[in-house]
Amino acid sequence: MVALLLPLIVIAAESDFEGRWRLDIERSSALDGWSAMDLLITINGSEVEIGHDMRWRRTTRIVERNVVDTAAPTQIENFFRIEQRHMGVYPSRNSLAAAQASWIDEGRTLRTEVDVSVEVSQGDSRMRIYSEYRVGEGGETLTLIELHSTRNNPLVYRFRKLANDDNSRP
Amino acid sequence: MNSVLKIAGICLLLVSSFLSSLSAIPSKKAWVMHFDLDWSVAGGLSEKAMIVSLQGLANREEAQLYVVHPADFQWEITEPLYDFYKRKHGINFTEIPNANKALKRFKSAAKGYVVWDKTVGASLNVAFTIAGLEDAIVVSEELIPLVRKHGLKPIDDLRGRYVGQSDAEIYGDAIERYWDRCNRDKIMLMGGHRGRTMMPAMADWGVRERMFFHDLSADPEEADELALNRGLLEDLNPSSTVFGWHPYGKDTEEQSTMLLSLYGLKMEGLHNLPNLSYNCQFEFTPGFTFTNNNHVELDTQLVAEEKVYLSFVQSDSIGIGVWTKPGRGKLPFAWQVTMNWTKFSPAALEYFHESATKNDYFIGGLSGPGYMYPNNIPSDRFPLLMDEAKELMGILDEHVMEIMDNSVADGNVGTVDLFEKTVDAYYKAFPDVIGFINGYGPGRTFDLRDTRPMISYDYYIDPKRPREEVTADLNELIVLNRKRPYFLLVHVRESNDVNSLLEIVKNLEGPIEVKPLDVFLKLAASNKTYKTRYRQADDPVHFKGY
């Protein structure tokens, strides 16, 4: 009986992820080179689209989307990384990022692991980005914990869910 | 008869030469006023605008009036420089406590007054232009009784003239009326703060030099203003200087600097840089020559070890920021010197030189003999401008050129890179430098030709970024750039302080050495672990240009 109910519980938890999430700047790791960020999450079967609606001051707004698949590894073109734009680290040209994703913790956490090529002053280099997207109790908060294979400090971004009819941008 | 005439002529020449040399020596007697930080239109602006216009007139023939600003004014050096004038030039300053006393002392420098309209911000710039041309001081309505009390007569009154007009209409009218009579080697872009606060602390210089004042936009979306702005720049003589700063909220620093660079002109900011009308009249003290804290000779050869070399640079003009902050001298630091101050403010340069520690190293910039974006400088103007830069660097004993081209960047992020042809032009123009550095935010332009490396910043320290994150960022760069030696050039934004950098350096991982910039570049010349790269056609562009 429990085994039968588990997929239903997972589906219910996953659906909590969908929607627009606004970064709580005060309670998050400092963005650098970005002023504000929303996450836009959409689930379609095993595919999860993670959109990043980014703003820099009043001059730049971009929306970049990564699609991961919880059923199989994928290759992502133009993978978007929440980069610290004051570092000399850039997306490598024409590179694919190898991505894996899965639901863990009974669907309360989306885990992704992406192997990304970046350009630095010495040429191309690699960075493995391990991320957990965790929805809080009640489905109103989302925490993104990001670990880089190249960085010993985790980056922690905390978000609050916007109402369904709130289409404001960050 | 001929011999007598010759001797008389020689005597006349000697006497006139002696007299002119006497007049070139600034008076030992001068006056000083202390300003507060209130530049609001509703508050302190009116009186300050009047005094800086009076300062420009009073200082036209000789250096008489100096203004000291509070320590937290953007230009923090006015007080130290005031002390320097007393100590090194023997100036005996008399304090002037208020505007009334200033008028009493200097009213004879003015032929009258011009009234600006506090409801129309641009009218203040028109009034400053008139002030320079007509030897007038600038007043708002409430100051008229005061200047009348001192016997000054009205010369012009702008109240009501420009109400309801756009800035393009106002400056179009001012160009018609005044531009023909204005200085064609210098122009005052009196932008910066707009609206409820304006900060025209540089107006003394513009009034003294009879410049045209404006704050016309360089944004293509403001087509009317841009057309007028371009018309003014086209009319300037070659190699002229645009003083002041771009108008906040109307356009961007990138647009403004790109525009003047397209005409091969130089920028000298900011709009609130005070006292140039006083400072310009001093030479270096007798016997003084610049001796930089050089650590290497031009032909020195060093060999880099397998470690991470860091070097720190501040490039936001030496007069603002880190220089007066705690900890200077505890780390090797390179300072971009505003080289044009050799002409406009030599005492300030001498002050910096004398207060430098052994860890302070001066470099030339930005991009040339003033602030300009080299990807945009016309190729026929480039060599002439760089000859001027070389001459100034020679005077200042500087051997590294700092380059910055933010024309397509977005503030302090985005592309700052140089086209290959721009890099070629620098290598050709500066055969005798130790090297070049590039960027403001991080950049990707790297090169090495003979012994001269060109290294871009790999990191920009945002003063608001938590120090722990800065440390983590630098450590991440060290991991990502795996080859050793790794040359990590760091740009320190002006409002950081050196003490916080000491903490960061302590927590970096690996074999790290912080080196003075000249040593850093010599080491970078010995082992090219960085990849040659120039600006690419498909690099991100924020502003598409003109």
| Helix then strand then coil, % of chain B, to nearest 5 | 40, 20, 45
pLDDT at B8: 46
Copy the structure tokens of residue B228. 């007028």
Whose tokens are 């760091």? That residue is: B490
Contact yes or no for B475 and A85 at CB 8 A: no
For A59, the closest chain B residue by CA position comes to B410
Query: Which chain A residues have a beta carbon less than 8 Å from that of B479?
Result: 150-151
pLDDT at B249: 93
Distance in Å, alpha carbon of B259 to nearest chain A alpha carbon: 19
Distance in Å, alpha carbon of B474 to nearest chain A alpha carbon: 8
Distance, CA of B229 to CA of A35 (rounded, Å): 32
Distance in Å, alpha carbon of B534 to nearest chain A alpha carbon: 12
From the CB of residue B475, how many other CB atoms can be counted at a distance below 10 Å? 21
Q: How many CB pairs under 8 A join A and B?
A: 93
From the CB of residue B381, how many other CB atoms can be counted at a distance below 10 Å? 18
Contact yes or no for B481 and A59 at CB 8 A: no
Distance, CA of B478 to CA of B307 (rounded, Å): 10
Residue B353 CB partners (closer than 8 Å, separation 6+):
B290, B291, B362
Q: What does residue B129 show for φ and ψ, rounded to 5 degrees? A: -60, -45
For B416, the closest chain A residue by CA position comes to A88
For A87, the closest chain B residue by CA position comes to B459
For A30, the closest chain B residue by CA position comes to B465
Distance in Å, alpha carbon of B460 to nearest chain A alpha carbon: 5
For A116, the closest chain B residue by CA position comes to B480
A44 touches chain B (CB under 8 A): no
| A33, A57, A121: residue with CB nearest B530 | A121
Average pLDDT of A25-42?
96
Distance in Å, alpha carbon of A14 to nearest chain B alpha carbon: 32
For A147, the closest chain B residue by CA position comes to B476
CA-wise closest residue to B159 among B173, B145, B139:
B139
B466-525 pLDDT per residue, tens = 999 999 999 999 999 999 999 999 999 877 778 889 999 999 998 999 999 999 999 999
Residues 111-150 of A with CB under 8 A from B: 118-123, 125, 127, 148, 150
Copy the structure tokens of residue B264. 């091969």
Distance, CA of B132 to CA of B279 (rounded, Å): 18
Distance in Å, alpha carbon of A90 to nearest chain B alpha carbon: 9
Contact yes or no for A122 and B462 at CB 8 A: no
For B485, the closest chain A residue by CA position comes to A122
Contact yes or no for A88 and B465 at CB 8 A: no
Contact yes or no for A87 and B442 at CB 8 A: yes
Distance in Å, alpha carbon of A93 to nearest chain B alpha carbon: 10
Distance, CA of B393 to CA of B320 (rounded, Å): 20
Distance in Å, alpha carbon of B466 to nearest chain A alpha carbon: 7
pLDDT at B22: 41
**For testing contact with chain B, the best of A121, A149, A157 (most B CBs within 10 A):** A121
Class of residue B508 by CB neighbours under 10 A (exposed 0-12, middle 13-18, buried 19+): middle
A2-23 pLDDT per residue, tens = 455 455 555 656 789 999 999 9
pLDDT at A9: 55
The answer to whether residues B454 and B429 touch, using CB atoms and an 8 Å cutoff, is no
Alpha carbon B38 to chain centroid, angstroms: 23
Class of residue A141 by CB neighbours under 10 A (exposed 0-12, middle 13-18, buried 19+): middle
pLDDT at B319: 56
Strand partners, A67: A49
Query: Which chain B residues have a beta carbon less than 8 Å from that of A151?
Result: 472, 475-476, 479
**For testing contact with chain A, the best of B413, B493, B528 (most A CBs within 10 A):** B413
DSSP state, B533? B
Copy the structure tokens of residue B541. 């562009």
| A29, A88, A152: residue with CB nearest B458 | A88
Regions of chain B with pLDDT less than 70 = 1-24, 317-322
DSSP H or E run through B48: helix B45-58
For B533, the closest chain A residue by CA position comes to A121
A153 touches chain B (CB under 8 A): yes
CA-wise closest residue to A43 among A79, A83, A12:
A12
Residues 55-114 of A with CB under 8 A from B: 56-57, 59-60, 84-90
Angstrom distances, CA of residue B442 to CA of A84, B308, B492, B524, B526: 11, 18, 11, 17, 23
> What ipTM was assigned to the predicted interfaces of this complex?
0.94
